[in-house]
Amino acid sequence: MTPINNFNFNNFVFSTNPFIGSLNQDIFSAVQTANMQGLFSAMNSFNFSSGINPFSSFNFSNLNFSMLVMPAVNFPTFNFSNFATSTYGASATVSRPSLTGRRVQDALRLAESQIGVREQTGHNDGAQIDVYRNGRHNGAAWCASFVSWCYGQGQNTDNSTTFGYDASSQSIRKKAQKAGFYQTVQSGYVPQVGDIAVWDNGDGTGHVGIVSKVNDDGSFETIDGNYSDQVRRVRRTRSSQNLSGFVQMNEWIAANESGSRTSLVA
């Protein structure tokens, strides 16, 4: 293999990417002469096997290798320009806000902090999605699990004073109806921030989202899990297809805290 003259890492930057650790002496096995602006005059090996981390910014600006002799290894061309890792599918490292102890407010804060979390492959999967499902990796739809997490596990509680952990949107609706904290769209009820909006497809399936804003024109916004494969804020109207009604979480939580009602969690 012909020696590579002027192997130039000009403006080559790694920024906090702990998984880069495979560029090792198997590739850079024979550096006969390495000129690093006079810092090193001769190197026989250049080993990255320990990885770049813990350096938060490892900058190869103006680093020039000359007369680099490499073994006959076939590998693709890597372009590190604008290199970043920002998806949540590979690890559950999404930050969470501090909690206030006020259940509805904390549920909203948690929901907002998760906006942008998306599935890893678009098949109800991903490490953070499994967190919403209480650690279950089952590929099931997760809108109800997300709501349960915001009102429960995300607040370090089992939410047993209301509907507990529930992976079914229609089960949440039925529990609220039985407890007396469900208002249908037909009733004319105006939703409150913190309510859970429920859609019923009529076949035992549906959808849920947390009401995050109520507008003067009667529309409202929700923060939904499993909306287009992600956590997303959505603007809604009362005429939204299959919208059934609203779980009154403010009243349900307040009633149980006062001891006037009991939980319906089995």
Residues 193 and 214: beta-carbon distance below 8 Å = yes
Query: Within this chain, do residues 10 and 134 fall inside the same structural domain, yes or no?
Result: no
Residue 211 pLDDT > 60: yes
Domain of residue 170: give its range. 103-258
Residue 255 pLDDT > 80: yes
Domain contains 224: yes
Query: Within this chain, do residues 239 and 122 fall inside the same structural domain, yes or no?
Result: yes
pLDDT in tens, 163-181: 999 999 999 999 999 999 9
Domain contains 263: no
Query: Within this chain, do residues 241 and 141 fall inside the same structural domain, yes or no?
Result: yes
Query: Within this chain, do residues 125 and 72 fall inside the same structural domain, yes or no?
Result: no
User: pLDDT confidence of 258, banded at 50, 70, 90?
Assistant: confident
Residue 262 pLDDT > 50: no
Counted domains in the chain: 2
Domain contains 245: yes
The answer to which of 30-44, 57-71, 171-185, 225-239 has the lowest mean pLDDT is 30-44
User: Could you say which of 85, 114, 139 is where a domain stops?
Assistant: 85
Query: Within this chain, do residues 115 and 183 fall inside the same structural domain, yes or no?
Result: yes
* Apex 111 CA angle, 164 and 240, nearest 5: 90
Closest CA to 150 of 108, 192, 191: 108
Neighbouring CB atoms inside 10 A of 72's CB total: 5
Domain contains 195: yes
Query: Within this chain, do residues 129 and 235 fall inside the same structural domain, yes or no?
Result: yes
Share of the chain above pLDDT 70, in %: 62
Residue 263 pLDDT > 80: no
Give me the phi and psi of 174, to 5 degrees please: -65, -40
Report the predicted TM-score, pTM, of the whole model to 2 decimal places.
Answer: 0.65
- How far lies 169's CA from each of 138, 232, 263, in Å? 17, 17, 17
Query: Within this chain, do residues 76 and 107 fall inside the same structural domain, yes or no?
Result: no
Query: Within this chain, do residues 64 and 163 fall inside the same structural domain, yes or no?
Result: no
Closest CA to 149 of 90, 96, 201: 96
User: For the chain, what is the mean pLDDT?
Assistant: 75
Query: Within this chain, do residues 27 and 108 fall inside the same structural domain, yes or no?
Result: no
Domain contains 140: yes
Which domain CATH number covers 236? 3.90.1720.10
The answer to which of 40-54, 119-133, 233-247 has the lowest mean pLDDT is 40-54
Query: Within this chain, do residues 141 and 225 fall inside the same structural domain, yes or no?
Result: yes
Domain contains 265: no
Element (H, E) at 214: strand 206-214
User: Could you say which of 85, 115, 138 is where a domain stops?
Assistant: 85
Distance separating alpha carbons of residues 190 and 216, to the nearest angstrom: 11
Domain contains 177: yes
Which runs of consecutive H residues, i.e. helices, occur in 9-162? 103-113, 127-132, 143-151
Query: Within this chain, do residues 108 and 77 fall inside the same structural domain, yes or no?
Result: no
Residue 69 pLDDT > 60: no
Residue 161 pLDDT > 90: yes
Domain contains 249: yes
Distance separating alpha carbons of residues 91 and 149, to the nearest angstrom: 17
Q: What is the pLDDT of residue 127?
A: 97
Query: Within this chain, do residues 24 and 138 fall inside the same structural domain, yes or no?
Result: no
Instruction: Quote the strand ranges of 98-195, DSSP E.
Output: 182-184
User: Could you say which of 34, 55, 85 is where a domain stops?
Assistant: 85
Distance separating alpha carbons of residues 265 and 227, to the nearest angstrom: 26
pLDDT in tens, 113-158: 999 999 999 999 999 999 999 999 999 999 999 999 999 999 999 9
